[in-house]
């Protein structure tokens, strides 16, 4: 078994809204190992994006612990959290993923610049990873000159280039057509496995789960189901699983 | 809480500054059309501010240049003349009395009037100043020689006269002077030239006091007297640092006078303060408009970039990178705008006739340029603060 890249213990996040307390994440615990790709699914308002925000060190939990590569987020000040995001976490977002005035290669290299690794080897690595994602002829194109799928692939390259412990993806297929969506998630899963990273994808599209190793289903802030056998995952992805 | 070690902090800071430059300059280069438009707006504001500043400097210079360049520390006026040169007319003995006061190095009487050179295609109005050669009040020559004493029909001209009329040393000029109700004409030989001696918006002719008394425009009453009364005395001190002490000493030792320094004399030139106040107010409001325009532009731009800044922060860019990138961008765009505006103003000034008092290389223009460079970051301050406060959660639709 690979090492634990991400560990969530008794996580709680509450929000106050119009005098009412809402449990966005309610006592959730799980682990993700290096080389494992999991999907966080659930209906709108189930708490999956709040969960992702906490895992990404963008939001502080009300209680509980999140350990990334052994480092406890709750013990960190903002400066440390920024450093952790830069070094240990890779990110892809639903939209507005890329810096619009940087080319595809510059967007990928930007992660290396943030980490002080933008040397010749880093530049070669960014070109290689983009080539592996089928973008060798798009290195010098600006995001506006790329299709939605190509932009997501650049974002995936950026999320992985600095070898983070954890790669987080927030609805990476939301703005793509079905064919592109499958390609992007398949590529993402492949790279997570090959690079031995822990990958977590938030999605509302269960069809995308066919490429993951485990599915965590949330509802009303609670972790209500864990699907971890390939057969069950395929049933879930194909919509044939019994609830 | 954990702390980052100092050496790591230093490296982090350098990397942040480098990243801020990288982001700011890449965005400017890739969106050069949009940023150039902003720079052009700033250039137009610069043109307006510099034009007002240069006009203010030119007006001030044209008004005060002679007094400002006087080789003296104190000016003696007739008592209760409120330090207004035209209101002061001193007794002929005052010069001698002032000269005897301990600490006075030299005294020069100054007689002021105006006249018109008519021996030109276009008559030229000039200030006519009576001064004694070699005494305070007579500027240093750049060409020719001093006029002789007595009532010699000789004059030393300001270079401003030469520039506007083409008159040279050795030429003879004719001036028109109203004596009572009759026009009389006097011929003067130009024997020397001085520079930077404009007074009361006019270039200057310098003549000996006796000549001045003879040729100045006079009323019927004045025609009965041939005694010249100086308006003021320029006093050079043995110790130029003793201005206040000497002003008090002169006032207590000499009857019927009031004494002040050059700055006060300038500020009391009729209309000078009001005119400068008007010009400075115009300049201030133009700068204020500049601050609002630049601030507005950068605020709109930051609002458009909220998701992008959210992504930058979410992937690990610090507030320092985002904030400094905004500052650098504002400074670069403002500097380009000010440079273009400066060139515009210079080219514009080349086309102006010498009759328009326009001094582009003055202190005010430099102050205006410094202020213009400052108003960019000042105007963009709100947007910079806004950029720093954008939550990275904006990238995740939660902000």
Assess if residue A18 is contained within a domain.
Answer: yes
Q: Decide if A56 touches B, using CB distance below 8 A.
A: yes
DSSP string, B73-121: SEEEEETTSTT-GGG----TTHHHHHHHSTTEEEEEEEEEEEEEE-SSS
Domain of A25 in residue numbering reads as 4-238
CATH code where residue A74 lies: 3.40.50.300
Residue B56 near residue B353, CB atoms below 8 Å: no
Q: Is the pLDDT of residue B9 over 70?
A: no
Res. B4 pLDDT band, cuts 50 70 90: very low
pLDDT at B399: 42
Q: What is the pLDDT of residues B160-170, one digit of tens each?
A: 888 888 899 99
Assess if residue A45 is contained within a domain.
Answer: yes
Res. A117 pLDDT band, cuts 50 70 90: confident
Distance from CA of B22 to the nearest CA of A (A): 10
Assess if residue A243 is contained within a domain.
Answer: no
Q: Decide if B397 touches A, using CB distance below 8 A.
A: yes
Distance from CA of A242 to the nearest CA of B (A): 31
- A82 contacts on B by Cβ (under 8 Å): 313, 316-318
C-alpha span between B126 and B124 (Å, rounded): 6
For testing contact with chain B, the best of A82, A164, A167 (most B CBs within 10 A): A82
DSSP code of residue B218:
B
Nearest to B396 among A58, A80, A100 (CB): A58
**Highest mean pLDDT range out of A86-95, B104-113, B211-220?**
B104-113
Helix (H) or strand (E) segment spanning residue A52? helix A48-55
Distances (CA, A) of A20 to A16, A23, A168, B215: 6, 10, 30, 96
pLDDT at B382: 86
Q: What is the pLDDT of residues A58-85, one digit of tens each?
A: 889 999 999 999 999 988 988 899 999 9
pLDDT at A27: 94
Q: Among all chains, which residue has been given the structure tokens 């930058």?
A: B312
Assess if residue A84 is contained within a domain.
Answer: yes
Contact A106/B26, CB-based, under 8 Å?
Answer: yes
Assess if residue A101 is contained within a domain.
Answer: yes
Assess if residue A81 is contained within a domain.
Answer: yes
Residue B204 near residue B192, CB atoms below 8 Å: no
- Look at A65-69, B231-235, B287-291, B353-357 and tell me which has the smallest mean pLDDT: B353-357
- Enter the pTM of the model: 0.76
- How many domains does chain A divide into? 1
Nearest to B317 among A79, A98, A114 (CB): A114
Q: Among all chains, which residue has been given the structure tokens 């066919």?
A: A210
Q: Decide if B399 touches A, using CB distance below 8 A.
A: no
Residue B310's φ and ψ, nearest 5 degrees, are: -60, -45
pLDDT at B12: 67
C-alpha span between A214 and A200 (Å, rounded): 10
Percent of chain B with pLDDT over 70: 95
Q: Is the pLDDT of residue B387 over 90?
A: no
Assess if residue A96 is contained within a domain.
Answer: yes
Res. B10 pLDDT band, cuts 50 70 90: low
Contact A116/B15, CB-based, under 8 Å?
Answer: yes
For B311, the closest chain A residue by CA position comes to A97
Res. B390 pLDDT band, cuts 50 70 90: confident
Residues 63-82 of chain A whose Cβ lies under 8 A from any Cβ of chain B: 75-77, 79-80, 82
Higher-scoring residue by pLDDT: B129, A19:
B129
Q: What angle do CA A110, A114, A119 make, to 5 degrees?
A: 70
Q: Is the pLDDT of residue B6 over 70?
A: no
Q: Decide if A91 touches B, using CB distance below 8 A.
A: yes
Q: What is the pLDDT of residues A144-178, one digit of tens each?
A: 999 988 998 999 999 999 999 999 998 888 877 88
Distance from CA of A101 to the nearest CA of B (A): 5
Q: How many CB pairs under 8 A join A and B?
A: 90
How much is the CA Rg of chain B, to the nearest whole Å? 30
Q: What is the pLDDT of residues B333-343, one digit of tens each?
A: 999 999 999 99
């Amino acid at each position: 078994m690979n090492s634990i890249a991400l560990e969530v213990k008794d996580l709680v996040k509450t929000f106050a809204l119009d005098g009412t307390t809402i449990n966005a994440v309610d006592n959730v615990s799980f682990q993700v190992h290096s080389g494992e790709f999991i999907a966080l699914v659930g209906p709108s308002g189930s708490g999956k994006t709040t969960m992702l925000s906490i895992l990404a060190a963008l939001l502080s939990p009300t209680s509980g612990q999140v350990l990334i590569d052994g480092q406890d987020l709750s013990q960190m000040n903002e400066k440390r959290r920024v450093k952790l995001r830069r070094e240990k976490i890779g990110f892809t977002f639903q939209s507005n993923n890329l810096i619009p005035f940087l080319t595809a290669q510059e967007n990928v290299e930007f992660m290396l610049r943030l980490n002080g690794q933008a040397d010749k080897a880093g530049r070669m690595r960014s070109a290689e990873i983009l080539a592996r994602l089928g973008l060798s002829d798009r290195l010098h194109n600006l995001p506006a000159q790329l299709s939605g799928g190509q932009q997501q692939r650049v974002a995936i390259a950026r999320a992985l280039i600095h070898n983070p412990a954890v790669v987080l993806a927030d609805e990476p297929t939301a703005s793509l057509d079905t064919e592109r969506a499958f390609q992007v998630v398949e590529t993402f899963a492949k790279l997570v496995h090959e690079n031995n990273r822990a990958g977590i994808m938030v999605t509302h599209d269960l069809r995308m789960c066919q490429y993951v190793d485990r599915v965590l289903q949330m509802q009303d802030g609670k972790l209500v189901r864990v699907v971890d056998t390939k057969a069950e995952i395929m049933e879930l992805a194909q919509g044939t699983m019994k609830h | 809480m954990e702390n980052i070690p100092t050496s790591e902090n230093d490296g982090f800071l350098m990397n942040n500054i480098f990243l801020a430059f990288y982001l700011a300059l890449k965005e400017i280069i890739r969106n050069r059309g949009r940023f150039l438009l902003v720079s052009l707006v700033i250039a137009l504001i610069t043109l307006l501010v510099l034009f007002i500043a240069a006009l203010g400097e030119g007006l001030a210079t044209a008004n005060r240049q002679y007094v400002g360049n006087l080789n003296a520390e104190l000016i003696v006026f007739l008592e209760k003349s409120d330090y207004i040169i035209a209101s002061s007319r001193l007794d002929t003995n005052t010069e001698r009395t002032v000269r005897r006061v301990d600490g006075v190095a030299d005294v020069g009487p100054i007689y002021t009037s105006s006249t018109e050179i008519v021996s030109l295609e276009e008559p030229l109005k000039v200030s006519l100043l009576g001064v004694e050669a070699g005494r305070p009040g007579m500027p240093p020559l750049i060409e020719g020689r001093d006029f002789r004493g007595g009532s010699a029909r000789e004059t030393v001209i300001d270079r401003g006269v030469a520039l506007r009329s083409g008159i040279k040393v050795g030429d003879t000029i004719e001036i028109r002077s109203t004596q009572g109700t009759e026009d009389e004409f006097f011929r003067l030989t130009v024997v020397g030239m001085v520079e930077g001696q404009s007074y009361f918006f006019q270039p200057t002719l310098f003549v000996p006091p006796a000549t001045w008394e003879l040729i100045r425009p006079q009323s019927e009453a004045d025609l009965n007297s041939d005694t010249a009364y100086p308006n003021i005395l320029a006093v050079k001190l043995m110790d130029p640092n003793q201005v206040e002490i000497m002003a008090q000493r002169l006032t207590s030792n000499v009857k019927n006078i009031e004494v002040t320094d050059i700055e006060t004399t300038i500020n009391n030139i009729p209309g000078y303060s009001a005119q400068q106040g008007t010009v400075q107010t115009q300049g201030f409001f133009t700068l204020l408009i500049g601050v609002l325009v630049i601030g507005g532009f950068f605020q709109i731009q930051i609002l458009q970039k909220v998701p992008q800044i959210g992504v930058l922060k979410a992937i690990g860019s610090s507030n320092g990178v985002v904030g400094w990138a905004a500052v650098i961008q504002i400074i670069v765009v403002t500097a380009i705008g000010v440079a273009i505006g400066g060139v515009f103003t210079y080219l514009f000034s080349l086309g102006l006739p010498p009759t328009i008092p326009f001094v582009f290389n003055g202190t005010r223009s430099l102050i205006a340029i410094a202020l213009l460079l400052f108003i960019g970051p000042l105007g963009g301050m709100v947007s910079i603060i806004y950029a720093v406060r954008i939550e990275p959660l904006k990238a995740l639709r939660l902000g």
